[in-house]
Amino acid sequence: MPAHTVPAAPPVWPRIRRHLLVVVAAVLLTLGAATPATAAPAESTHADGKGLRDLAARSGLDFGNAIDTDALAGEPAYRALVAREFSSLTAENVMKWETVEPSPGVDDFAAADVLLAFAKEHGQTVRGHTLLWHNQLPTWITPEMSPAELRQILKRHVFTVVEHFEGRLTAWDAVNEPFNEDGTWRETMWFNALGPGYIADVLRWAHEADPDVKLYLNDFNIEGLNPKSDAMYALVQDLQAQGIPIHGVGVQGHLSIEYPYPEGVTENLQRFADLGLEVAITEADVRMLLPATPEKLATHAQYFDQLLRSCLAVPACINYTVWGVSDAHSWVPGVFEGEGAATLFDENLQPKPSYEALAATLAEQWPQRK
């Protein structure tokens, strides 16, 4: 099962409403089919050509997205939208271990380097994602390897990858998703072989390989105050007490309108900031049970907007990154059955109410960030 699966609440809709929606959807689809295929490319969203990146820059915030490098190569409208809207890019997949070292000692940075070239051309920064995670590992790494061997290949991986990208990234998600929901350690092959010290090792090695790149710990369901974010807080304090380099905490921001909005988000971001860290929203998306309705899209916009307002309220929150450029490119439908519509742009790359809500919030004055 995917790591992000949380028990799904049963659909609460009256049946009749669902039937009505099917009819409305069918009518809309028929109307849609009548419009020319060339209608309304993403470039036409704003006459002034400005995007979220320009609005965010006024408050010293980077506004990012997770980039599907296949879409970047093959879809001109996707490229145009990414160039216009985002100032920070994260590789959705192509910096993960399975991609960068498909066989032992054989490196492949080709796709990631294409992303970096695009970012340079468009004046965008890039976040590294991720040095160590329990998913998307190459198949040649197995839990049967000895702890000494695992530690050795981990060290080689961290040095090789961080050195390859040296000077070209603002930050690395050095370790991704180290905790369970109750704040206990996730028992990954790394934890089982090496104990919790694997986190300090990765941070030390990465810092040695590139002393300038910011090192983050990143996890989901640590938006608000809860046992999991408490565990992250305690880990950061412990690392700092030992003098281990740690510069930021990444709050992924995978939310669902099926669940209440998390409590204490601003306070939580602020407590990490008070430790002297940067914080970032690294993977924001807000999923819903399909089909989307105007009501659901309004709640969707509210969740995205509350998260942005918390980030803007904490000057140490320097980046707000959405996970997936459009609903056509989002990971959600492939992982959460019956769910989707999780991003700011619909399947035709048209902005949703959430986009308008974020644009309006970014256009407000945020004097505490000056």
Name which of 60 and 338 has its Cβ closer to ligand XIL: 338
Structure tokens at 341: 């519509």
Phi and psi (nearest 5°) for 324? 120, 125
Q: How far is the CB of 369 from ligand XIL (least distance, A)?
A: 27
Exactly one of 176, 188, 306, 361 binds ligand XIL (CB under 6 A); that residue is 176
With a CB cutoff of 8 Å and minimum separation 6, the contacts of 171 are 127, 128, 213, 214, 215, 216, 247, 248, 278, 280
Shortest Å, Cβ 217 to ligand XIL: 12
C-alpha span between 329 and 319 (Å, rounded): 21
> What are the CA-CA distances from residue 277 to residues 104, 206, 208 (Å)?
35, 17, 19
For residue 93, state whether it binds ligand XIL (rule: CB under 6 A): yes
Q: Indicate if 43 belongs to the active site.
A: no
Site string for ligand XIL, 41-80 (x = CB under 6 A): ----------------------------------------
| Residue entry with tokens 């048209």 | 350
**Residue 270 near ligand XIL by CB under 6 A:** no
Q: Compute the least distance from the CB of residue 180 to ligand XIL, in Å.
A: 15
Nearer to ligand XIL, 87 or 252 (CB): 252
- Interface with ligand XIL: number of residues (CB under 6 A): 7
**Terminal CA-to-CA distance of the chain, rounded, Å?**
44
- Can residue 331 be called a binding residue for ligand XIL (CB under 6 A)? yes
Q: Is 177 a catalytic residue?
A: yes
Backbone angles phi, psi at 249, to 5 degrees: -120, 130
Q: What stretches of the chain show up as alpha helix (H) in DSSP?
A: 15-34, 52-57, 69-74, 76-85, 97-100, 110-121, 147-164, 189-194, 197-209, 227-241, 265-273, 294-313, 332-335, 353-363
Among the listed residues 96, 117, 118, the one whose alpha carbon sits nearest the alpha carbon of residue 108? 96
CB of 142 to ligand XIL, least distance (A): 20
Packing angle of the helix pair 227-241, 265-273 (nearest 10 deg): 0
Cβ atoms < 10 Å from Cβ of 173? 26
Rule CB under 6 A: which of 111-130 touch ligand XIL?
none
Identify which of residues 205 and 331 has a Cβ nearer to ligand XIL in the complex: 331
Helices (runs of H) and strands (runs of E) counted in the chain: 14, 10
**Cβ at position 63, least distance to ligand XIL in Å:** 18
Active-site residue identified among 177, 223, 258, 278:
177
Q: Which residues pair with 345 in a beta bridge?
A: 351
Point out the residue whose Cβ comes nearest to ligand XIL: 331
- Which is closer to ligand XIL, CB of 201 or CB of 283? 283
User: What's the min distance (Å) between Cβ of 333 and ligand XIL?
Assistant: 11
Residue 223 sits in the site that holds ligand XIL (CB under 6 A): no
Looking at the Cβ atoms of 248 and 315, the one nearer to ligand XIL is 248
- Strand-strand pairing, 339-340 and 278-289: antiparallel
Smallest distance, ligand XIL to C-beta of residue 128, A: 12
State which residue, 4 or 79, has the beta carbon closest to ligand XIL: 4
Q: By CB under 6 A, is residue 283 in contact with ligand XIL?
A: yes
Residue from the set 62, 75, 85, 92 that interacts with ligand XIL by CB under 6 A:
92
Which positions from 234 through 263 interact with ligand XIL, judged by CB under 6 A?
252
Residue 370 CB partners (closer than 8 Å, separation 6+): 60
Q: State the catalytic residues.
A: 177, 283
User: Which residues would be at the binding site for ligand XIL (CB under 6 A)?
Assistant: 4, 92-93, 176, 252, 283, 331
